[in-house]
Amino acid sequence: MRIRLVTTATLLALAATAVPVAAQAAVPPGGPQPLAKLFDNTAVSDDADPGAADFDGAGSSLYAGDLAAAGWTPGRRLDIDAAGLRLPRYGRGAPDNVVADGQSVALRGKGNAVSLLVAGSTAGGPGTGVSGTGTVGYADGSSSPYSLTAPDWRAGPLTTKALALPRRGTPEGPRAEATRLYAVTVPVTRGKRITSLTLPDDPGPQSDLHVFAASVRAEATGWTGSWAASTSGYTAVGPWTDRTLRLVVHAGAGGDRTRVRLANTFAASPVRFGQATVAVQGEGAATAGRPVPLTFGGRTGTTVAAGAEAVSDPARFTVPPGSNLLVSIHLPETVRAAPVHALAMQTSFISADGSGDRAADTGADAFTGTIATWPFLTGIDVGGGPGSVVTLGDSITDGHSSGTGTNQRWPDVLAARLRAQDDVPRYGVLNQGISANRIVTDRYKGDGVSSDVGGVSAQHRLERDVLAQTSARTVVVFEGINDVRAGTSADEVIAGLRDISERAQARGLRVVAATVAPCEGYGDCSPAVDARRTAVDARRTAVNEYIRANATGADAEFDAMLDFDAVLRDPERPQRLLPAYDSGDHLHPGPAGLKAAADSIDLGLLVPRS
């Protein structure tokens, strides 16, 4: 049995709890407690006194100064993966996290998940992470189980971390070693009011699962996703100083209220945004009307911490369905690197260095430069509507070979089909394709400035790019060709698809899997050595056979299947694309092929079971 030290630092009780102060008095003695009242471990030390904390039993700690430099200041609320997590008031030598051992945490609200800020530690050095099971309690007296893994704070994957810090504190002084914190979620029964979370039991004397913050991730009631883009990497830019971005995006669903999401994914330091506006595009960088200002918590502009995001307040701005919008963002300080979506297939605009805040400009004169990426901007929502379909994919979904500025990506065509009918709900379609992305392997390694913009793997970005998306109802998974081309076995790809499906279904989403299209004739699909080509297609065929076999029946792993392979292949030579659908590189369908794929979808397959 672990002996706990209970402190009297009552101010801590207000720091990381998800329960309002007025509700704390109603918590019965011995019942669920606000998280901060359960804190029994000190992980964060003052930079001048590292001995004041002992995170792992060996005197190690996180430095308060490193956290503050990332914008993770004591008591601050951070929005990560659509959940608000309140940081503990760390750095004073008082406990700032709880080591899980079956404690009952008081929570309140309805939502689609419980989000936690966690890390695992192992006595004696870096470990592989700490796992356990617990339960979510509801107001009606029922409960549901969950499994939770807290990756190791010194050796866990950077691709899924919420934040990486550059140093580890020791009694002897700082060590140059990356340390990590993770935001993870556990599933809940949607529609039920959550009252508590029972943490996993103590996993044993050598390992600890630390919890710093917990909250209910609320449903995005009353909102539908109109446009989205995944962060595919963190790249050097500019540098940009006192300039304004004017980003062109193609909205799908329409509505009379709007909000915009800005993200600082993969960053190590905060970014300050000045004024931001939204407008319907006129000609080029000119607006069709006066740009509408966006506020954040009632203020013009905001500062977003490393790894976090910000959602604007609802604005009275009507998004016409199927329109092009201009989202303008003033960057008042110098920006040398930014999270980007690399393959925008759209030309956006930027003002000159030192030109100041031009977000409210109606004309195009100030925007003298162009960019081909989407920095910082990750989502636009509209008021009302039935919710969103998320398309998770690689370059074929991202729009490679669809034509710059033409909006002929297959998710664009699908969105237009949904808008033009009344048989099923008119869902918004959120394109979460990343060129060069894979299911199993990370291209971008998840930390630091890199020229690789192939993204972290579909499994590692699932939480951010699918589960946390606005009012997500269904996910269409269309990936795998990059894995099999790179030599990943069919069994590994299948295991990755199974993991994606299980996690999405546990969050209440409908999962639709699409078969993998052929690629004969593309460089590594048809090299001189015929055996290599045969192996690639054999892996692809095995993955497709698995998808087709697991989309129907009582034990089906997917809720439905789209046979894009059958739609796009040449019947006379199934290893290659039909010439009429081939963009010319033999891997990416052109506009005709992308339209054929979208037109082949039975829209009824996108509708979740009630």
Q: What string of DSSP letters covers 389-440?
A: EEEEESHHHHTTTS-TTS--SHHHHHHHHHHT-SSS---EEEEEE-TT--SS
Sequence-distant (6+) residues with CB within 8 A of 58 are 123, 124
Q: What string of DSSP letters covers 265-276?
A: TT-SS-EEE--E
pLDDT in tens, 436-493: 999 999 999 999 999 999 999 999 999 999 999 999 999 999 999 999 999 999 999 9
Residue 533: per-residue pLDDT: 56
- Please give the average per-residue pLDDT across 284-292, as a whole number: 98
Q: What is the rounded average pLDDT for all residues in the chain?
A: 93
Which CATH superfamily includes the segment(s) 386-610? SGNH hydrolase (3.40.50.1110)
Residue 205: per-residue pLDDT: 81
Q: Indicate if the pLDDT at residue 11 is higher than 50.
A: no
- pTM of the shown model: 0.93
Q: Indicate if the pLDDT at residue 24 is higher than 60.
A: no
What gap in Å lies between CA 322 and CA 326, rounded to an integer? Answer: 13
pLDDT in tens, 576-585: 999 999 999 9
What is the band of 532 on the pLDDT scale with cuts at 50, 70, 90? low
- Please give the average per-residue pLDDT across 340-349, as a whole number: 98
* CB distance 12 to 90 below 8 Å: no
Instruction: Classify 255 as helix, strand or coil.
Output: strand
Q: Indicate if the pLDDT at residue 8 is higher than 90.
A: no
* CB distance 72 to 163 below 8 Å: yes
How many CB atoms lie under 10 A from the CB of residue 542? 16
* Residue, of 24 and 259, whose pLDDT is higher: 259
Strand partners, 69: none
Residue spans per domain, the chain: 10-217, 234-379, 386-610
Instruction: Classify 77 as helix, strand or coil.
Output: strand
